[in-house]
Amino acid sequence: MDQERLLAAVLLADVVGSTPLYERIGDDAALQQVSDCLDAIREIVARHGGDFIHSKGDDVLSLFERPEGALRAVCQISRQLTNGPLNARIGLHFGAVIRARSAVFGDVVNVTARLSTTANPGEVLISQSFFEALSAGSRSALRLLDKMAFKGKQELFDVYTLRSDDGALGTQIASRGTTIDRRSAPPRQINLVIRYGDQLLSCRNSELVTIGRSPECNIVVERPWVSRHHATFTISNGRARLVERSSSGTFVSMGPGHEVFVRREDILLFGSGVISPGLRLSLSDAQVLHYEIVSD
């Protein structure tokens, strides 16, 4: 089998909004609009030096030898889809890929798909490796959003977005206690126990427990103010974190009178406490999740 290994930027744009469009204007008209949108994305990709790989359903996967070309393409795609009936979740990553059988393969492609899936409609999520591949001048078009966890990946990823994207800046909230030198001893083994209603789940080192409205999540919270992929519990290096990436935010309490609001933030968890996606804990409709950190 002929194959080629190369360093490239991988762009995945997944068009969203087609379901209500089909309901509103009918199958034929909606199909035409979706097709026009996909064609416009492919044309933008080609204009900026990209190579269209394939479309599966409503997405477009493409490859760029120059990361600057990929960045210009996503900027134009974002502008063109703004305020329209259709939008896109876009992921952008850079690294080594294998090109074979008119397709691309490798971990870089998989991470790009995770970025696209994690993005909100109209949002571009960009990896650290793509950011580093850009020239210093081009990097100014991006801003650090947050550290994020992806299903199937053990480490947290630094994720960037376009400066023009809406949404709160990502902020790291760290412990204000004494700094501990962990090089002399391995991280302590802990277990994070999470309870929601009659569900009881545990999270151990390098594991993830996802929360959201989507049936794909480990803990499904079916409320309109909860994002499809709202937040993630994770443990890394002996520390428990809540990785929040929703549009409505999450209220976290680790003790009486210590409720904090986080949105697009990575917050360390201590002891035991409660969280409420999207609503204050004191409200009657709040969906409360209890957590407790237990040493193994």
- In this structure, are 139 and 192 located in the same domain? no
Question: Would you place residue 176 in the very low, low, confident or very high pLDDT band (cuts 50, 70, 90)?
Answer: very low
Highest mean pLDDT: which range of 131-140, 148-157, 165-174: 131-140
Calpha distance 209→241 (Å, rounded): 11
- How far, in Å, are 80, 85, 206, 210 from residue 110 at the CA level? 26, 28, 19, 19
Tell me what pLDDT residue 127 has.
Answer: 92
Tell me what pLDDT residue 186 has.
Answer: 52
- In this structure, are 7 and 145 located in the same domain? yes
Question: Would you place residue 265 in the very low, low, confident or very high pLDDT band (cuts 50, 70, 90)?
Answer: confident
- In this structure, are 131 and 192 located in the same domain? no
Q: How many domains does the chain contain in total?
A: 2
3-class SS of residue 90: strand
Range in 92-96, 163-167, 228-232 the model is least confident about: 163-167
pTM: 0.58
Range in 2-6, 36-40, 72-76 the model is least confident about: 2-6
Question: Would you place residue 173 in the very low, low, confident or very high pLDDT band (cuts 50, 70, 90)?
Answer: very low
- In this structure, are 290 and 186 located in the same domain? yes
Compute the mean pLDDT over every residue in the chain, rounded to the nearest whole number: 84
- In this structure, are 52 and 152 located in the same domain? yes
Residue 157 DSSP code = E
Tell me what pLDDT residue 179 has.
Answer: 32
Last residue of one domain, picked from the residues 121, 139, 167: 167
Question: Which domain does 99 fall in, by range?
Answer: 3-167
Report the CATH number at residue 139: 3.30.70.1230
- How far, in Å, are 4, 94, 131, 197, 199 from residue 220 at the CA level? 42, 32, 33, 11, 10
> Is residue 224 pLDDT above 70, yes or no?
yes
- In this structure, are 197 and 125 located in the same domain? no
Question: Would you place residue 187 in the very low, low, confident or very high pLDDT band (cuts 50, 70, 90)?
Answer: low
Calpha distance 296→129 (Å, rounded): 35
